[in-house]
Chains A and B, each alone.
Chain A
């Protein structure tokens, strides 16, 4: 196993090098492409940190959805000839910025290297809670997200909703209610359509699978939802599906369903289990899967709507 440390060091150097490239690249588009590659490499680092759930999230979001978001943004800016802006700071400012950044990075490296041993951990408490009554989840991270720190997760879904509304709100008044602009203006190639026709259904199936096994194995609502979102975006890029009108009632209901169901079950917990966001003993697992199913729906709809951008009056069908 002596090659593993070498591989780790190689991976670490590669990640830092690609990150440096996204900062140093002259061209906006090159830096965006660098960032997409960086996201995928980072997923490997997460695997090495024994964090498969985060690796899945990072690959789906960092590499996938963020990639589409940034590439689309880069192309739209390109079309507007707005990829350049003002002169950068002068040499002196650059040196000051570099010194400050080096100082922060150095201090952080020192702090990380001197974290206490043995490290404090909530893993024993989480294990005890998972073994206790009313639990029944094999994946401790899902248990943290949906049970022990349910309040965080519910509020974070509202953050997603606010982001969707914030994005819509920068659109024009007279476009309100209409659909966002398509991800690609041009008619797609045959290859793209073929890819979408084959990949999207398989990917969607895998997304549902990742959500379903997430209770006991790596995966979960967000990862599954993000994969479904990515497949919807593939279909949108191939113009097999169009983004819905933002005024559509069904879209609104799908977007709020995750946090709304979570909040309702959380409130009901006060009556059924004696505390807000507590689950009645014996029903924890089915209730958690029930909440997660709606969160998958919300995530799968919210992410593509965020990438698609504000409503665009021109693309009215």
Chain B
């Protein structure tokens, strides 16, 4: 059972790290700010979600697991809003 949980954690965290790397590559390589933003928010939201998912089986108690989920939700919220705000500033700059 524990081996299975470990494998699951490994796979999920590994996938999360992959998304982070992909997002960072996008941030560095994409041509303009809007596409960079696009790459970054995907990486953050999905990557972090996978990392959190992988860590849940390793949490000491249900409360700690809940905290992990809350962390993810807060990052989703602030990430989405800041992306929105930056996007608007960019659009205003273009007009």
Residues of A within 8 A of B (CB): 189, 191-192, 194-195, 198-199, 202
A225 to B33, alpha carbons, bound, how many Å?
Answer: 36
Interface-side segment among B8-16, B21-29, B39-47, B76-84? B76-84
Nearest chain A CB to B45's CB is how many angstroms away?
A: 15
> CB of B85 within 8 A of chain A?
yes
6 examples of A-B residue contacts, CB within 8 angstroms: A189-B84, A191-B88, A192-B81, A194-B81, A195-B81, A198-B77
> Which residues of chain A come closer than 8 Å to B78, judged between CB atoms?
195, 199
Nearest chain A CB to B32's CB is how many angstroms away?
A: 18
Inter-chain CB contacts under 8 Å: number:
19
B interface majority secondary structure: helix
A194 to B74, alpha carbons, bound, how many Å?
Answer: 13
> Which residues of chain B come closer than 8 Å to A192, judged between CB atoms?
81, 85
Evaluate contact between B74 and A191: CB separation under 8 angstroms: no
Using a Cβ–Cβ cut-off of 8 Å, how many residues does chain B contribute to the interface with A? 8
CB-CB contacts below 8 Å: B48-94 with A: 74, 77-78, 81-82, 84-85, 88
Nearest chain B CB to A40's CB is how many angstroms away?
A: 13
Evaluate contact between A189 and B77: CB separation under 8 angstroms: no
Top 8 A-B pairs, shortest CB-CB distance: A195-B81, A191-B84, A191-B81, A191-B85, A189-B88, A198-B77, A189-B85, A192-B85
Residue on B nearest A198 in the bound complex, by CB: B77
Known pairs A195-B81, A195-B82; list 16 more (Cβ under 8 Å).
Answer: A189-B84, A189-B85, A189-B88, A191-B81, A191-B84, A191-B85, A191-B88, A192-B81, A192-B85, A194-B81, A195-B77, A195-B78, A198-B77, A199-B74, A199-B77, A202-B74
Nearest chain B CB to A37's CB is how many angstroms away?
A: 13
